[in-house]
Amino acid sequence: MRPLQRLLLDWYARTARALPWRATRDPYAILVSEIMLQQTQVSRVVPKYAAFLARFPTAASLAAAPVAEVLTLWQGLGYNRRALALQRAARAVVDEHGGVVPDDLGALLALPGLGPYTARAVLAFAHDREVAPVDTNVARVLSRAAAGAPLGRAAVQRLADDLVPPGEGARWSHALMDLGATVCVARAPRCGACPLADVCAWRVAGGEDPAASTALRARPQAAFAGSDRYPRGRLLDALRAGPVARADLAAAAHLAGAPPARLAVVVDGLVADGLAERDSAGLRLPR
Ligand code: SF4
């Protein structure tokens, strides 16, 4: 094992964050956690993950559920289209794989809504496979510590997969993610507290931060309040409590007094995304 690998795994053994999805090897539960963790903070995901799995413990139970119930359980996580995508993936798992999440990269990538990150996360975390899911944290750590140079999207994935120590798929990726989240952070890396300080390619060579021009670096999110995401979220929250009459839509979306065209954009968007359905009275969650 290379010094960088050994140092990082030793550090992880001492400092690992205890997260509920790290205590399971169930690929369905790991898939649920990974979809929830896309764009939502760990602290918000923890209680939702437990509640979701208590209600939908298997891909089959999620596949058979009414869409409205799935969306209701998703409340508080945001980016609600992920809930629909997760249910579509569960239905494909039932229809095409007998209810068992596949353990093959190609089959995982063929599931609706799964990209290279999520497919590799399932393989690494459920099966200890020697592949590495690459998110912004992983790309940043690898560009600094292992390459000491900016990396394009394909190069960072290749390097990440090559660096997985034999038989350590899960622990290795958890360790990389933890280091990126807590020590090798974007703006002011805490090199003095880093287990890789002595072997970090960037720290040894100096110069420009390679993470600044590496693929998959974090992009600033659009402001929530003032964007259409805000009225969408408010209207969807109202729909979770029950159907909303046409006359009440603007108030439910916090768009009372706004031009009607703005409400129309929000409603049309929810319907187009499969998050709401029109009926003769107004709007409701899909059945
Ligand atoms: S030494 Fe600094 S730059 Fe290198 S991996 Fe550690 S925190 Fe990141």
pLDDT in the model for residue 121: 96
Mean confidence (pLDDT) of the chain: 93
| For residues 235-244, average pLDDT | 94
Q: Which atom of ligand 1 is nearest to the CA of 140?
A: 8
Sign of the dihedral through C-alpha 248, 252, 258, 262: negative
Sign of the dihedral through C-alpha 63, 67, 69, 70: positive
Delineate the domains of the chain, giving CATH numbers in brackets. 3-127 (1.10.340.30), 136-213 (1.10.1670.10), 229-284 (1.10.10)
As given in the structure block, the two tokens for residue 82 are: 């992920």
Q: Which atom of ligand 1 is nearest to the CA of 196?
A: 6
Hey, is 237 helix, strand or coil?
A: helix
* Rounded Cα–Cα distance for residues 48 and 37 (Å): 11
More confident residue, 219 or 14: 14
Spacing, Cα 189 to ligand 1 middle (Å): 6
As given in the structure block, the two tokens for residue 211 are: 């993470």
CA 27 and chain centroid, separation: 15
Q: Which residues are catalytic?
A: 34
Q: For residue 176, which of 8, 1, 7 has the smallest C-alpha distance? A: 8
Spacing, Cα 199 to ligand 1 middle (Å): 9
- What is the pLDDT confidence band of residue 228, given thresholds at 50, 70 and 90? confident
Percent of the chain with pLDDT over 90: 87
As given in the structure block, the two tokens for residue 63 are: 């596949």
* Rounded Cα–Cα distance for residues 196 and 194 (Å): 5
pLDDT in the model for residue 216: 73
| For residues 158-164, average pLDDT | 96
As given in the structure block, the two tokens for residue 138 are: 């992983």
Q: Is the CB of 189 under 6 A from ligand 1?
A: yes
Spacing, Cα 65 to ligand 1 middle (Å): 45
* Rounded Cα–Cα distance for residues 2 and 18 (Å): 26
Q: Roughly how many angstroms between the first and final C-alpha of the chain, as a whole number?
A: 53
pLDDT at 224 over 70: no
pLDDT at 222 over 50: no
Spacing, Cα 180 to ligand 1 middle (Å): 9
The H-assigned helical ranges of 98-135 are: 105-109, 116-127
pLDDT in the model for residue 218: 57
- The b/e string for 206-222 (b: 16+ C-beta within 10 A; e otherwise) is eeeebbeebbbeeeeee
Q: In a mutational test of the pocket of ligand 1, which residue from 191, 198, 208 has the highest number of ligand atoms less than 8 Å from its CB?
A: 191
